[in-house]
Structure formats: C-alpha cells, structure tokens
Chains A and B, each alone.
Chain A
Amino acid sequence: MGRTLAEKVYDAHVVRRAEGEPDLLYIDLHLVHEVTSPQAFDGLRMAGRQVRRPDLTIATEDHNVPTTDLLKPIADPVSRTQVETLRKNCSDFGIRLHPMGDDGQGIVHVIGPQLGLTQPGMTVVCGDSHTSTHGAFGALAFGIGTSEVEHVLATQTLPQIKPKTMAVTVDGALPEGVTAKDLILAIIARIGTGGGQGHIVEYRGEAVRALSMEGRMTVCNMSIEAGARAGMIAPDETTFAYLKGRPHAPQGEDWDRAVEYWTSLRTDDDAVFDKEVVIDAAELTPFVTWGTNPGQGLPLGESVPDPASYTDPAARQAAERALEYMGLTAGTPLREIAVDTVFVGSCTNGRIEDLRAVAGVLQGRKVADGVRMLVVPGSMKVKQQAEEEGLDEVISAAGAEWREAGCSMCLAMNPDKLTPGERSASTSNRNFEGRQGPGGRTHLVSPAVAAATAVTGRLAAPADL
C-alpha cells in the first residue's frame, strides 16, 4: 500500500524502532527562543550534558522583544533577564543566535524559512506550538514542551508514537478576496479545536496548490488551533522557487539531488488517510472569529450566533461564556462590531505578502479616528524588504504604526498589549481570553480584513470599502 507524505517523512527519520516502544525520531532542525528554553538548558547543566548538534540548532529572540526602541535595553527586568539568559545559554553551548538588533532577528517561524533552513522532507521542532508553520514546505514540523526541548538538545532525537494522518482537501479555487487566513479559519470552524487531535493534517487540492509559500505557511501555522500535531503541504515548483538561492538552500549539484528527492515527497495515489475532510473553496468568504477559541468563527456576512442554537451542551456553554467575555449580543451582525485596535503581524501573518495586502488596502486611505493600528513585520528582513518596496510609507501615511520585528501583540509578553475590555481585529492565531492582554477581546482576521477594519473602525472586508 502507498504511503502519505507524512508517513514518508516520518519513516525516513526513524533512528530506532522496537516492539512496544515509541520510535526514536531524528530531528533535522531545532529552533530555539527565549521563553521555553531556559529550564531545558538548566537541565543539561545539572546532568552535565552537552548539546549534541549545535550545528542543527538556531536561536532567536522574539516573544519578549519590544517593537520600538530596539537599541535600548528591555525596560521590563523579567523580560530582560529571560533574553539575557538565552544569550548566555547560546554562548555557553555554542548555538547561533539572532539577538535583538541583528538583521537576522525575527519570529522563530519567520526566520527558519527565510534563511532556507526549513526544507522539504525535514523534521523540525521548536518549543512553540506554531512550529507547524514549517509544514508548508513538506517538512514534518511540530511544537514540543521544555522537557522535549532538553531531550532534543541532548540527543537530537525525540521518542514518538506515529501520529495518524488526516487529509483536508480544498477543491476548486478561492474566490476573489478570500485568502489563506480565511481558508484556515473556515477549516478550524468546520473540524473544531479538537478535530485534528492526534493527527498530522495534509492540506491538498487545487486551492492549496494555488497558494503562495506565505499563504501555505499561514494555513499550516494554524493547524495546532484545530488540535493537529502538525500540518503539511507536499512540496512543488512553488516551494522550490521560494527556496532557490536562500542562504542555507542546497546549491549546484546538491540542489538537483535535493529537488529530485523532494519531488518524491507526495502522497501516493493508493495511500489511505485515517480521516478525510473535503472543502469546497468556491463557498468560502472572508472569515472572522467571534468567540474565545479559534473554532468559534463565521463568515463576515453572518451574525453573532445564539448559544441556544447549539445542541451540544459543552458547545452551548462555551458560546455563552464567550459572548459574555467578548461583550457581544447574539444576533449582532459581525460587520457592526466596532474595534479599538488592529494588529497586523505574528508568525501567522507577519510576512511580506501579508504586509503587501495591508498596504494595498490602506493605499490612499486613512485609519478611522479612534482606532490604533500596529503593523509589525515578522522579521527584520521582512521589515527591510517592505521598506524597499515603500510599504512602510503607505502604512504610516494611513496613520498606522510601523514597528520593529517581534511577536508583539500576539501574546502579551512584551509591551504591545490590549487593555481590559479593549477589542481588536488581529491577524494572529489565538483569540483565547486574555491572549493579547488581560481582559482583551480578540477577533481573528486576515490581513486584508484587518486593513479594511482599520479604515472603517468595524469588522469589514476590502470589498466593503
């Protein structure tokens, strides 16, 4: 019987297989950031262990970094200590680090692909659930906890029980104005926050094939929000074109050999998935969330749902609680929801294509009075490229704030936060209670919807302008 893409990549990394034990899986690339690593390095020190492969490990500072005044020390002493701890750990264990101010710095899931370190067929891990992003290249990439970070540092492997596989096939073409973010929000709403649990999702079908690498990264990034271990897309010409010439991509004859191998990384016609979901792209429209988990989303044209309409008691209770937290009334059209803040950025939507989409909508327009808009590039390279293209000027002229690279308002670990009760339209990945700041209320949206919302002050799509 044929194998799925996920199975091919998984099988190629099994170091050891024994009856009644998990497989030991080799890890090709380990990404490290300041938040989930300090206790892992401490563990190594206490056991007198070394990092087995510092040459397969790379670190960056992203979660804690302020997005203004980069050259000043971080004002929050606790954040500063965490960042300084990473610097010391990388120095002690010989790991390459891109610190604040370095032009290679950025969000961990933006810099891996940007450097060409993320390649098809690799295994990639990071102490961060959005590691699933790298699956866009046909890599098997998943988030791990700090104990596992320590395990990978010490052994370059992880014990794993082979996950199940799930196909999400998106047939047809996305309609004009419908983006990768709308697609993944619709998928999560369809399968639920636990729908992918225990599975590696492979996104397939015409609409997925048609996505750019940036779009594919957006889709794979949010696999975790559907509960999936990882998301993957088979590599193709789009993937190869993105990789070619990047600093760590293979060159010359190596490139040809690599492409030959990468081309074999597709699900065989006779392979069987454990679960399959089919989505009709033509039915999709811009999609936004109304609740406090990423599965609580609807097309922008709909209204806040009535909790009484849910038959499942857990879903009904979750909806009731979400409406209370979000300060929303059932039946309110989503387009009537006014926001205070618009955030563009994060590992979901902080790439060049996202910034182009935002600038495209903001060109010749102004951010509505009383709305603050932050535009935060995912990396210093993305920032540089955006500035070369003049996007920063369009964004600033519209009245939005153009910032330095970092995780920013995605997760409230740095100065960019919502205040209690403040409502945002955000291109990030989580609308959990307090995610963007204690008491903050988040609506997840695409970059295009974020920009249109900034202009009108209410949830809106560019077509509404």
Chain B
Amino acid sequence: MEAFTTYTGRAVPLRRSNVDTDQIIPAVWLKQVSRTGFDKGLFSAWREDPGFVLNQPQYAGAGILVAGPDFGTGSSREHAVWALQQYGFRVVIAPRFGDIFRNNSTKMGLLPVVLTGEQVEDLQTAVEQDPALEITVDLEKREVRYGADTASFDIDDYTRWRLMEGLDDIGLTLRHGEAITEYEQRRQGWLPVTV
C-alpha cells in the first residue's frame, strides 16, 4: 500500500448524496480479473453527460473528491477504490461514508476524510468559486487546510499509523500466527467444515 502523510492539490466538488459504488464503478467493469484499468470505468455512466463535473476542464488533475453524505454505499466492490485511485484521487471528503467503502479505502491508501455537512458545503463552494484553490490534507495533524480555513477530522490512531507507514495488514496479522493457532485449538468441534 502507498503511504499517505500529506497531500496538497486541487479538488472536485461532487454535489450529490448517496453516491453508491454502482455509480463509482458500474458492474460491467467488475468482470476484469486484474487490478488495473479501472480509471476508465470511474463514474462511467455519469461521465457520458458532458456537463458532469469530472468532464469540466477546470477540475482536471484534481486529487481530492468532495462529495455529499453517504458516499460509497452499497456494493462491497473494492474496484470503486481502485477506480478512484487510478483516476488520480488520493482523498475523498464527505460527511458520511459507507462502512465497507471506507474500510476498503484504508486498505489501499485512499484517505477517506469525514467533515461535517456544513464544512463539506463550504469547501465545495470555495472550490466552485476558485477551481485552482490549493487544499492540503494533512493526515499527521488530522487537518484539511485551504485559504485561511482549517477543518479538523477524526481518524483512529491505528488506521492513521498504518496509512502513514503504508503497511500491509496481512503482514501485520501474520505476526500473530501463534495466537491464531491457539484460537483454532479452542474452537468447538461441531463447527462446520466445507469439505
């Protein structure tokens, strides 16, 4: 996983709530067996509309997506995270995220930042007024900064540490192989096996 400490760049305001993962990456793209090539699928149905915000040239190259509440609800497809990252996003800011999407993001190094509805609205407005606005997302200080404004966000210490170090969960868990084996010896004998 790519480590995340601080990102400074421009943002795209996506003024929609309930952006489910079917919109982020429609099902037709899920048939791929590789981890690459999902950038083309990002919001592919919505991008057919020339007026869609990602099609507006002033937002090209932005690394922060600022969306409405309940971003990433629905399907567990991690492809949604891959698509956002491969398109160039490093951060998604929203008032609330779907749990699975948020989890998937932190496994991949895409930073989900929760701000209040009002803070998100203010940021969207600021970006619409000045699409070249530089925004800094500082994971170490847990802050989003732009112009004279600073908004703090919460993230648990462990997830923050793992993101900042770019650590792979599996490697960390395998350090506890003995504890897993001990647990397996305590499991009830009636529990089913699939074979």
Contacts and interface: CB of A to CB of B under 8 A. Distances in A.
Interface of A: 15-16, 20-22, 24, 26, 28-29, 35-36, 38-39, 42, 47, 49, 52, 54-58, 63-64, 76, 78-79, 81-82, 85, 95-96, 116-117, 119, 122, 127-129, 143-148, 150-151, 154-157, 159, 161, 193-194, 197-198, 224-225, 227, 229, 248-250, 254-255, 257-258, 261, 292-293, 295, 314-315, 317-318, 321, 411-413, 430, 432-435, 438
A20 B161 CA distance: 11
A310 to B, nearest CB: 11
23 contacts: A24-B173, A28-B191, A29-B192, A55-B193, A128-B76, A145-B81, A151-B170, A157-B180, A194-B96, A197-B96, A197-B98, A197-B99, A224-B100, A227-B70, A227-B98, A248-B192, A315-B17, A317-B16, A317-B17, A318-B17, A412-B27, A433-B22, A438-B26
Contacts of B191: 28, 119, 122
Given A36-B78, A144-B103, A197-B98, 6 more contacts: A56-B194, A148-B103, A250-B192, A318-B16, A430-B20, A435-B27
Contacts, number: 201
Given A145-B77, A157-B180, A314-B69, A413 B31 contact: yes
Contacts of A63: 30
A154 B30 CA distance: 23
Given A96-B194, A194-B73, A146 B96 contact: no
Nearest to A293: B18
A159 to B, nearest CB: 6
A22 to B, nearest CB: 6
Contacts of B99: 197-198, 227, 229
A115 to B, nearest CB: 8
B100 A147 contact: no
Contacts of B173: 24, 151, 154-155, 157, 159
Interface stretch (B129-137, B145-153, B182-190): B182-190
B76 A36 contact: yes
A255 B15 CA distance: 54
Contact of B104 (A29, A81, A145, A155): A145
Nearest to A76: B31
A51 B74 CA distance: 28
B189 A254 contact: yes
Interface string B51-90: 0000000000000000011100111111101000000000
Contact of B108 (A147, A194, A227): A147
B151 to A, nearest CB: 19
User: Top 7 nearest A-B pairs by Cβ distance?
Assistant: A145-B104, A145-B78, A147-B107, A38-B33, A250-B190, A254-B190, A143-B76
Nearest to A155: B173
A161 B79 CA distance: 23
Interface in B20-64: 20, 22-23, 26-28, 30-35, 45
B170 A49 contact: yes
A42 B96 contact: no
B170 A155 contact: yes
Contacts of B77: 35-36, 145
Contacts of A151: 169-170, 173
Of the candidates A29, A145, A156, the one having the most CB atoms from chain B within 10 angstroms of its own CB is A145
A14 B76 CA distance: 23
Contacts of B74: 129, 224-225, 430, 432
